[in-house]
Amino acid sequence: MSESSHLSPGGVEGTMRWEPSWNGTRHSRGREPFVSGGAVLPTQPAFGRRVRDLRRRAGMSQAELAGPELSASYVSLLENGKRVPSPEVVAEIAKRLRVAPRSLLGEDAGLPAPGTGPLTSDGGSTAGTGRTDLVGLLFRAGRDEEEGASKRAAEQLTAFLDEHGDGPHRDLLWEVRWSLARIHGGSGRVEESRLLLRHLLDDEYTRSSTERLERVARRLAELGLRNGSLVDGLRFAQLAWTLAEPHQEASVAVRAGTVLVNACAWSGHQRWGREVADALVARISDEVPWQQRSAAYRESARLCLLTDDYPQARIWFECALRQIDPQQDINSWAEAQYYLSIAEFLVDQGLDERAAERLTRARPVIEVLGHTSMLVHLAVLEGHLALRRGEHEQARLMADAAVDAGPWPAVHEVGVNLLWTARIYAALGDTATATTVYRRAAELCEQGGTMHFCAYAWRELAELTATRSVSHDRHD
């Protein structure tokens, strides 16, 4: 868009200006669209519902839909029926969603109007090409996914690729592969998801857009970190951050930076990670969605734990907790309570009681959710708290529970948890069990790529062995 037609939420500068008031619009909010100068303005909240539905099916965030001309917060207001946009804003949103503007305006136009088809990348119509039917198939798959029928959605999208995978419609093929990769990743089909994302990464259509390239790189990084591939996690997280950090939309940079901080924390690049964390926290504002704000503070605080900066970790964990409304996301609330209790445990022994109280509040939620990783984290921390209180039997029970829980895909996390568990056995004087657990921790840390934790495990095992040898010599 040229500078002369720069969009604002109220209209186009220099041509016309229509501004809603903060207490509602100046115009009628009845069921009939308002007409201004021959232009039809959308009816709310139906318009907002359609925008949200199309955005989600396209796999876009509010910030990505907003682009440089609008803001994520304004898109949120549109979707919630609290703002009525100008015709120019409607046209711009339709262009980004690749649909005809009238498909957003009509009361019954949930999909592109028959015979028009979505817009191509150059703004042309796709009528007569069969694209409308294919878009309908893509939307139906998205609806199935939202309703919990992910398997059926994946089958529909796979069939779409089988039939049209070599077709000329690059934009639709991109969206199909993106959606299918997301579904596979969420249903545990990691390799299928990775292959699709790698295909997108090498696609010329992806590389023609910084926005698309950042999305694919970030998703690959997240997939690697969740499934024990730290090399991929770090490499793609760095790419995503490099693309997103200069972005004027804070939420884009915050989302990519959060993934990179997580990758740096686990892969041993703590100094680099701290630099990114400081830059990340500086970009946090009220315009960034609360979920992203909380995640950014949490990952930055976790990195501080690894660099022994426990006071700063506690500050950022408290910030993370303040962003969360437990009625909206009880899972994140429980996780934040747990991590804050770790920081309090490490900062000062005088905070043990407060840490124990947080764990008491978080445990019922974590048990109901049934996440293996969080249950193991919880058992390890409770074991250390019991050890500090002198409750040795309880400490052993918690350590045994952590060992018996079994692994999960992120082997680097499993290894680190076993390292902390081995420390409980060592403190209890159970050298034989501690040795076994230390060795297993070192193996998993090496397998997962967390070489600094692997080194910790071998060093502590050597110290334990040396202490045991000295004790035996004195006894003899």
pLDDT digits (tens, 9 = 90+) for 131-176: 666 677 777 777 777 777 888 888 888 877 777 677 777 777 888 8
- List beta partners, residue 7: 12
Which residues are CB-contacts of 471 (< 8 A; sequence separation ≥ 6)? none
pLDDT of residue 263: 93
Sheet holding 7-8, edge to edge: 7-8, 11-12, 16-17
Q: Please count the other Cβ atoms lying within 10 Å of the Cβ belonging to residue 103.
A: 20
Label residues 17-51 b or e (16+ Cβ within 10 Å = b).
ebebeeeebeeeeeeebbeeeeebbbbbebbbebb
pLDDT tens column, 321-344: 999 988 888 888 888 888 888 888
Host H or E run for residue 162: helix 150-164
**pTM of this structure:** 0.66
Nearest to 138 by CA among 167, 96, 108, 178: 178
Task: Kindly tell me if the per-residue pLDDT of 40 is higher than 80.
Answer: no
The pLDDT confidence band at residue 420, using thresholds 50, 70 and 90, is very high
Among 31, 142, 36, 131, which Cα is nearest to 89's?
36
- What value does the mean pLDDT take over residues 197-211? 90
| Burial classification of residue 84, based on how many CB atoms lie within 10 Å of its CB (0-12 exposed, 13-18 middle, 19 or more buried) | buried
pLDDT at 25 over 50: no
Q: How confident is the model at residue 352 (pLDDT cuts 50, 70, 90)?
A: confident
The phi-psi region of residue 41 (left if phi > 0; otherwise alpha if psi is between -120 and 50; otherwise beta) is beta
Q: What is the pLDDT of residue 317?
A: 92
| Res. 188: pLDDT tops 80 | yes
Cα 258 to Cα 6, 221, 264, 298, distances in angstroms:
31, 11, 10, 9
Q: What per-residue confidence (pLDDT) applies to 107?
A: 40
